[in-house]
Chains A and B, each alone.
Chain A
Amino acid sequence: MEHTIVRTEKFNAYFGANHVVKDVNISIPKNNVVAVMGPSGCGKTTFLRCINRMHELIAGATCEGEMLLNNEDVYDMHPIFVRLKIGMVFQRPNPFPNLSIYDNVIAGYKLNGIKMAKAEKDKIVENSLSRAALWNEVKDSLHKKGTFLSGGQQQRLCIARAIAMEPEVLLLDEPTSALDPISTASVEELLFELKKNYTLIIVTHNMQQAARVSDRTAFFYLGELVEYDDTKQMFTNPKDTRTQNYITGRFS
């Protein structure tokens, strides 16, 4: 049995009176890539944002149920601590425009006021950028602003920034939706490498992407978790008719 890192128990999320995530029970095994897919508005992004408690930052947003990280409820922990343990990469690359590439990578330390020796910082920067497959492209321009990079490079910079904090889980919210096909390919390739060290949960509305990158896939529909299985199983032999309709393109 694989070690479970994130588990939910009857998890619900709301925007005001709007019930967007309904009774979700899911177990996410360590060092896996789990794709969360579904049509627009099915609650997949909201669910993702509940995992590191970003959901509650929106006015009127609430949630209930258990959200366990290593069997500890994240809603009993301090949100800041949760977000250090669970990193996040957003739909659009959002490097800090006022910081250099170098400072962007260590932003989590620098902006939190954690002092480090230069050698240590250098090591984290090189390590994180290498693992984000960006080191070779930017090693000569580390002190340029992060916003000078192309969209795909910026997104990998954001991934480097998230993994520099050594999180246990990395959440990716449609990380390639704003990228061109070549950048998308490089980010997808990266996910494959990253799962050696991290557990990745990726939201995508692109089925091909879910099929390509993930070990397991969760299908959300109208706020419900309809089906959750091995990716291969899910795409070759879905159990639920709604899943079947979705992956055969009968609705999107």
Chain B
Amino acid sequence: MFKTLVILFASACVIPLLAILGYIIKEGITKINWSFFVNVPKPVGEAGGGIANALVGSFIIVGVAAIMAIPVGILSGIYLSENKTSKLAYWSRLSVDILQGVPSIVIGIVVYFWIVKPIGSFSAISGSVALAIMMLPIIVRSTEETLKLLPDTLKEAALALGMPYHRMILKVILPCGIGGILSGVMLSVARIAGETAPLLFTAFGNPYLSTNITKPMHSLPLLIFNYATSPYDDWHNLAWGASLILLLWVLLLNIITKLTTRKWNIQL
């Protein structure tokens, strides 16, 4: 009896994902064709159009965010795993944990007052900053947790061979933990790829294709938000298609994460 119940609830966990996937695929797949990828949205009333601006924008905003967050995140993670008890580590760990819980809209509004307001214009780069702040805790903690699991004997082996500290970290500790670190990075990218709230008043959105990161730029979640809430059927279609693309992107990142973890997993 109990066992059946457990099995039942375990299967129930799969249902939301399958339902969402099924629905989005059903609605989105018919809207996707070549012009969907290469064109920008048409004005209201004209049929067709695509999401090229949002697709390119999303890649740029997320890419720039990753460039900002990855080095900082990995280095902090190394520091935390190497200095478990220092005061700085305590405060840094605490801030990272709290940062992880800060609502994304709050991060968005803060970045708005920090960057958008002083500069006087919405910009893709401010959106990237907001997303980078969201990525940071995930990368820091996954790096720290991965490196903490490496046995101390590994470090001793390196140091006993006369390796200086920085080489030990770069040549032994990082390569041994690369699987876990990469998966943390991928998960953080997947996590922010669909973030809408922090972009609302930073990257803002742009009906045209733009690659200038100092200017407003569109992105997939923004496009979905704007078009899904509009009253026009053509725009609804674009939103469905964009939802499917975003979903596939996140799904793909998760699958790659699983594969890299398996491939780079180092037998200790």
Contact = CB atoms under 8 A, between A and B. Distances in A.
Whether chain B is bound by chain A comes out as: yes
Contacts of B167: 111-113
Interface stretch (A91-99, A120-128, A232-240): A91-99
B176 A97 contact: yes
Contact of B161 (A57, A97, A161): A161
B37 to A, nearest CB: 40
A5 interface: no
Contacts of A108: 161-163
Given A90-B157, A96-B172, A98-B176, A80 B162 contact: yes
Interface stretch (B18-26, B54-62, B148-156, B201-209): B148-156
Pick the most buried of A87, A94, A95, A98: most chain B CB atoms within 10 A of its CB. Answer: A98
Interface residues of A, number: 29
State the main secondary structure of chain B at its contact with A. Answer: helix
Contacts of A160: none
B179 to A, nearest CB: 10
Contacts of B163: 80, 108, 111-112
A165 B161 contact: yes
B3 to A, nearest CB: 39
Interface in A60-98: 80-84, 87-88, 90, 92, 94-98
Contact of B266 (A84, A98, A112): A98
B159 interface: yes
Contact of B159 (A57, A113, A145, A161): A57
Nearest to A92: B153
Interface residues of B, number: 21
A158 B157 contact: yes
Interface in A138-185: 145, 147, 158, 161-162, 165
A55 to B, nearest CB: 11
A83 B157 CA distance: 11
Interface string B159-192: 1111110010001100110000000000000000
Contacts of A111: 158, 161, 163, 167, 171-172
A52 interface: yes
B164 to A, nearest CB: 6
Interface string B86-102: 00000000000000000
A207 interface: no
A178 B178 CA distance: 28
Contact of B176 (A96, A162, A165): A96
B4 interface: no
B153 A145 contact: no
B175 A98 contact: yes
A147 B268 contact: yes
A96 B154 contact: yes
Contacts of A84: 161-162
A21 interface: no
Contacts of A190: none
A108 B163 CA distance: 7
B208 to A, nearest CB: 47
Given A87-B160, A98-B172, A111-B163, 4 more contacts: A88-B156, A94-B153, A96-B176, A165-B161
Interface of A: 52, 54, 57, 59, 80-84, 87-88, 90, 92, 94-98, 107-108, 111-113, 145, 147, 158, 161-162, 165
23 contacts: A52-B160, A54-B160, A57-B156, A81-B162, A82-B162, A84-B161, A84-B162, A87-B160, A90-B153, A96-B172, A96-B176, A98-B172, A98-B176, A107-B158, A108-B162, A111-B163, A112-B163, A112-B164, A147-B268, A158-B157, A162-B160, A162-B161, A165-B161
